[in-house]
A and B are shown apart, each in its own frame.
Chain A
Amino acid sequence: MAHNNNSDLNVLHPHITPMSTYLKVGGALFGLTFLTVIAHQFNAQLGAFAAPVAFLIALVKAVLVLLYFMHLKDDTNMNRVIFGSGFLFLLVLLFFSVLDIVTRVTEVSPL
């Protein structure tokens, strides 16, 4: 990030993420990928939980990528809000489309 407290706004002060952080995050992402594949082997036992487990792991991975690789951790609140708004409006699309399709089939004409 280029936050400046000194007077010269023409000098950027990059926020350099240390290599150790990248290694840890990269390792965690690899580990989680293995974990999701291992969980996949127990799909039969997990039953209805198979999908939520897989997506939960994917979500954790996504958050790691967002915070550390994409540096959202050190970014401005505005940029976080901007990115979050995309998901919010996606939910709107999902909500109304599903609402229509779910309520469509159950309706029976009274005539």
Chain B
Amino acid sequence: MATTSAHGDNYLNHEKGLWSWLTTVDHKRIGLMYMITVMFFFLIGGIMALLLRLELFAPNAAANVGGVLKNGDVYNQVLTYHGAIMVFMVIVPGIPAILGNFFLPLHIGAKDVAFPKINLASWYCFMAGAALAVLTLFTKKIDTGWTFYTPYSIKTGTATVMMVLGAFIMGMSSILTGLNFIVTVHKLRAPGMTMHRMPLFVWALYSTAILQMLATPVLGITLLLLAAEKLFGVGIFDPALGGDPVLFQHFFWFYSHPAVYIMIIPAMGVVSELITTFSRKVIFGYTAIAYSSLGIAAVSFFVWGHHMFVSGQSETAGILFSFLTMLVGVPTAIKMFNWVATLYRGSVTFDSPMLFALGFLFLFAIGGVTGIMLATLPINVHFHDTYFVVAHFHYVMVGGTLMALMGGFYYWFPKMFGRMFNEFTARMSFIFIFIGFNVTFFPQFILGAMGMPRRYFDYIPAYESLNKISTIGSWLILTGFLFGLYTIVQGIRKGAIAPMNPWRSKTLEWTTSSPPPHENFKVEPIVTAGPYEYR
């Protein structure tokens, strides 16, 4: 087996031309197609985030720098699109559809996912849904927030229907990906690859896929009912006809809380891979990490009411949900413990993927602990809909998922493109993102505790200095991602040819050439040991 095959036959040059990409059923190419589209939407969502922060640079009363978005209506629209794009088009598909698609079959020694055509169909569903959703920008824009809460979403502009249909179709895409992954894990493992020999990233994707299958259909019907409510006034969520808007929230969060774990569990899987590789040590508590992924997935269905503590939900339900939510801390803490225990006495090297993994540990710990604070019913009532909540979920979603996505992306970059990236610029991207992220979002915890409400386009002068710090932080994050973009583009175009296994990892994908050949392995691998045989 050659150490490099950048000029040999590989999945990138197996077929040529745009048409061969648009009709490909190769999971690796579909992964790359997802990568390009997700990066595009991340750019749009990111620009909106920068605009929001720019608006909040100063209170409008002293509008010298602030006030870029003219008025509160525009602010609300930008906020809605930022949320909807980042959730439905970036973070939910992010790790599973890009890294999962690319590496799940490689990890378990399969030639492809179980249903390659359905895999391609899921990308087209994603594109169609995303197009519908983004096209609402050119109609009457929506301003409901990404949660589409009734009754406001029924009363505001008609673009809501188009937007929720877009989200519905993207949900289909998510379901198809999940279905594919479950069957692939069950049926396509190479000889000797038992469930307990699978890399932890596969376990994480498997748990995520279960969530995608079980939760997304409920979002689908909820969004359809919302569209029906809007078009035909069916009255199910409309108090004027005896309907219940809070029931909408129940149905919505039955999906959208598990969706939070659809976003974070794959990130945990990536971090498990990174930490064991760059500690050069067998992962501590393999089974505990594997089953805690399933545990988080299971518990996630019992906790959605913590989004609704002040919605008019009953106190009894609130207390129960508060208690159940704290249970999520148990499997999450098991993971944290095992990662730290893996680092202990490992030969830790600080390559850029590892920096992102360690950044994940730090930021996710803050995000997770503030999550427990928010789960506490009386504290939540005080913090509800303040910047404390905004800071909390950005620490988990950005500090967790995006950090892991970036780390995983650098880690597998040599395998995906057959080239190395510039380590210096990659580290610079980490430094700027990590510092910028804390500068942006840590002040928001304080702002929230001071009582600054979220989703407002203006604030009282008392909040000004912390908001200024936060906005400056957003520019640091921008710088970090520009470094990241440069690293990727420069690496793809001019990077040194990557060896087969630059990080000396032990999982299966590193036993094939970089980039992998068309059907992944020249000879079907036979697995005889666990995934992390370091020492």
What is the interface of chain A, defined by CB distance below 8 A to chain B? 78, 85-86, 89, 92-93, 96-97, 99-104, 107
Contact = CB atoms under 8 A, between A and B. Distances in A.
Given A92-B301, A93-B218, A96-B305, A104 B314 contact: yes
Interface of B: 186, 214, 218, 244, 246-247, 250-251, 254, 301-302, 304-305, 312-317, 320-321
A99 B302 contact: no
B186 A103 contact: no
B186 A96 contact: no
11 contacts: A85-B214, A86-B214, A92-B254, A96-B250, A96-B305, A96-B321, A97-B250, A99-B314, A100-B316, A101-B314, A107-B316
Given A93-B254, A96-B302, A97-B250, A107 B315 contact: yes
B312 A96 contact: no
A49 to B, nearest CB: 27
B214 A89 contact: yes
A99 B316 contact: yes
A102 B250 CA distance: 14
Given A78-B186, A93-B218, A99-B320, A107 B302 contact: no
Given A102-B314, A103-B315, 19 more contacts: A89-B214, A92-B254, A92-B301, A93-B251, A96-B250, A96-B305, A96-B317, A100-B305, A100-B313, A100-B314, A101-B244, A101-B314, A103-B314, A103-B316, A103-B317, A104-B313, A104-B317, A107-B314, A107-B316
Interface residue SS majority, chain B: helix
Nearest to B317: A100
Given A92-B302, A107-B314, A107-B315, A100 B214 contact: no
Contacts of B316: 99-100, 103, 107
B434 to A, nearest CB: 38
B246 A100 contact: yes
Contact of B247 (A86, A97, A102): A97
A96 B214 contact: no
A103 B246 CA distance: 14
A89 B301 contact: yes
Contact of B312 (A78, A102, A104): A104
Contacts of A93: 218, 250-251, 254
Nearest to B255: A93
A96 B315 contact: no
A54 B474 CA distance: 61
A100 B301 contact: no
A41 to B, nearest CB: 31
A86 to B, nearest CB: 7
A86 B312 CA distance: 28
A103 B301 CA distance: 20
Contacts of B186: 78
A38 B330 CA distance: 54
Contacts of B251: 93, 97
Contacts of A78: 186
Nearest to A105: B314
A25 B218 CA distance: 32
Nearest to A85: B214
A99 B313 CA distance: 10
Contacts of A104: 312-314, 317
Contacts of B247: 97, 101
Contacts of A86: 214
A78 B187 CA distance: 11
Contacts of B304: 96
Nearest to B324: A96
B498 to A, nearest CB: 37
B261 to A, nearest CB: 14
Contacts of A99: 314, 316-317, 320
A100 B250 contact: yes
A83 B315 CA distance: 34
A82 to B, nearest CB: 8
Contacts of A101: 244, 247, 314
B34 to A, nearest CB: 26
Contacts of A96: 250, 302, 304-305, 317, 321
Contacts of B250: 93, 96-97, 100
A97 B251 CA distance: 8
A18 B75 CA distance: 66
Highest count of chain A CB atoms <10 Å: which of B251, B302, B315, B316: B316
A107 B314 CA distance: 8
Nearest to B244: A101
A61 B238 CA distance: 35
Contacts of A92: 254, 301-302
- List the 9 closest A-B pairs by CB distance, nearest first: A104-B314, A103-B316, A100-B317, A103-B314, A97-B250, A89-B214, A100-B313, A100-B314, A99-B317
